[in-house]
Structure 1
């Protein structure tokens, strides 16, 4: 490891609204860990919720290097890790389950009770290097760029899990995707790949136009949408909310057909109105969806390699992360940004 710098850059969270790039000592991998040279790290709205203290008291350790969407090269491994990993291109499974609890044994490692997610509970990927549990590494197929691999770990994995495992989307169903930003645009592509009729709902014309280009059958400005008169003459049996504001949660419950499912993914606000009578009388299921599994990450990387999903991502230098945090917060990012060290 003598050729690897002892000091590196990292974008660190020191407390609410205290977030900046600093120099820190480069970490060494433990026995079951790997050291990854970061090639790209995706910027996520969840990072904004942390930086601007919008998680309603959810505990975030400080100081902490943020960044949970990570892709890079393995440059060193611990004593208990296969050294043949060195040199491999990898994406990082952010939840990094323990592999031992019942959730991990059931293949639901994103719900691991002992998980310390990268960039949320342990140092993440807004840095030159990051230490990662070796079992959290997923090979990146040929044909998938570093930036695509990074955002696949959340911005593609999360909607894939929400629509397939949680929402149980079936071919021929009609699905409404509320919010077609970084995750929602990928959800449109995933739903189309699964054979669904897709309605994209947003308030930003540019995002709706992108959704149309990426396969949406119908695009609708939610400000002009009357839930009592849906924009199609077929039941909307699945609604996925990738915004999570009070207004979008309400719209999702109003828009879904009798016996349908609503999947909540976005975290814009922690609370919201529940339409108790509607949910009970019409047997509407409201389901929460969080991230996705390691196996699903391998699947979405394969889908990207095969050209079935094309994540929209733009790259910028890590040193510019502060301005891109502000631009994302101001709604000036159409799809997804990856920071490149």
Structure 2
């Protein structure tokens, strides 16, 4: 079968490999769509500050597929039904999994990052990673829901504790940030969207942002909302955007860091201490939140923008994503 494999830094190729066989507790999926994520670029181009990635490895952690074979001991999974894959699936037994924070499981082998993922015709995954897809949600929407929507939901609602009526700034309105604009607006926030590309800013306006501005033209000391910005979500994560987030947030506010544009960054220590600014990290989301996100999409409350392209074109779309030429999200179809 065809698979897009990582062989080491700057070595990412579409190759032929054997179709996997599900082991005990696993399910074989025929991949129907796999979302292309900026995190994949960080892996391919060695931008994770030395974080160990096994090689060779089939990338792709946003997966929607059809169950075609059950491994020994698997129950409750219907052959022929569509499922999405919860990428950071946990062990089910540790304190994080038992408390519902399975995205933090220390025993997890993240699908598409630590074990083979969905840039292929078939993939095997643990049965407990699967969440059924509602009939009204498309393959491509379902695939990107597993990260591009789930991560934004978790960052704003769970980590950021978004409240109706508060001022929220979203820095970076690409694949995740545009979904964040929709989510924040749907839950009653007044949203300031920031980016440096006018087309993305126009999409943010169309998806609920009260104001959308080029961040280079913004005076962070005087943000243009009619209320304090008490929550800032940074979906870029460069040194510049981390600084901007700290300049924007109001006294007593929260900053949620999501993007991985740099592994370090400035900290305005006096501001954080004197104004009690909470700087919070946010990672992916939980399996239960994924089910919630799929329901929100099924009910039309969130409509992730996603375009589909053949898996054979993945190298082209990796380069286009790296060049900033992708407005929202791309899903590859085998």
Give, in angstroms, the shift of residue 233 of structure 1. 3.2
For the residue of structure 2 that corresponds to 1:151, the secondary structure is: helix
Matched position secondary structure for 2:317: helix
Q: Is the 8 A contact 2:220 2:244 kept in 1?
A: yes
Q: CA deviation at 1:84?
A: 4.8
Tell me, yes or no, if the aligned pair for 1:77 and 1:83 is still in contact at 8 Å.
no
Q: Which moved more, 1:98-107 or 1:79-88?
A: 79-88
Name 2:156's counterpart in structure 1. Answer: 163
Tell me whether 1:241 sits opposite 2:234 in the alignment.
yes
Deviations 1:298-325 (A, max 9, x none): 0000000000000000000001000000
Structure 2: segments with no counterpart, 5+ residues: none
Please say if residues 29 and 35 of structure 1, whose CA atoms lie closer than 8 Å, have aligned partners that are also in contact. yes
Match of 1:21?
14
- Segments of 4+ in structure 1 off by > 6 A? none
1:31 to 24, 37, 46: 24
2:145 to 132, 145, 152: 152
1:84–1:137 Cα change, 3 Å: closer
- Kept in 1, the 8 Å contact 2:167–2:225? The answer is no
**What is the rounded CA distance, in whole Å, between the counterparts of 1:214 and 1:295 in structure 2?**
25
Cross-structure match for 1:40: 33
Q: What is residue 212 of structure 2 aligned with on the other side?
A: 219
Alignment TM-score, normalising by the size of structure 2: 0.99
Q: Is 1:301–2:294 an aligned residue pair?
A: yes
Match of 2:254 in 1: 261
Question: Are the aligned partners of 2:86 and 2:290 in contact in 1 as well (CA < 8 Å)?
Answer: yes
Q: Partner residue of 2:98?
A: 105
Q: Write the distance in 2 (CA, Å) between the matches of 1:30 and 1:111.
A: 24
Measured in 2, the distance between the counterparts of 1:308 and 1:84 equals 27
CA deviation map 1:85-129 (0-9, x unaligned): 211100000001110110000000000010000010000000000
State the 1:230 CA deviation.
1.2
Q: Which runs of no fewer than 5 residues in structure 1 stay unpaired? A: 1-7
Q: Is residue 166–residue 227 contact of structure 2 (8 Å, CA) maintained in 1?
A: no
Write out per-residue CA displacement over residues 186-217 of structure 1, whole angstroms, 9 at most, x where no aligned residue: 00000011111111011100000000000101
Aligned to 2:166: 173
CA contact (8 A) 2:27 2:126 kept: yes
Show the 5 A alignment for 1:71-150: 71-82=64-75, 84-150=77-143
Looking at structure 2, the residues matched to 49 and 76 of structure 1 have their Cα atoms a distance apart, in angstroms, of 32
Task: Measure, in 1, the Cα distance between the counterparts of 2:275 and 2:76.
Answer: 56
| Counterpart-to-counterpart distance in 1, 2:195 and 2:76 | 47
- Pairs aligned (count): 334
Aligned to 2:285: 292
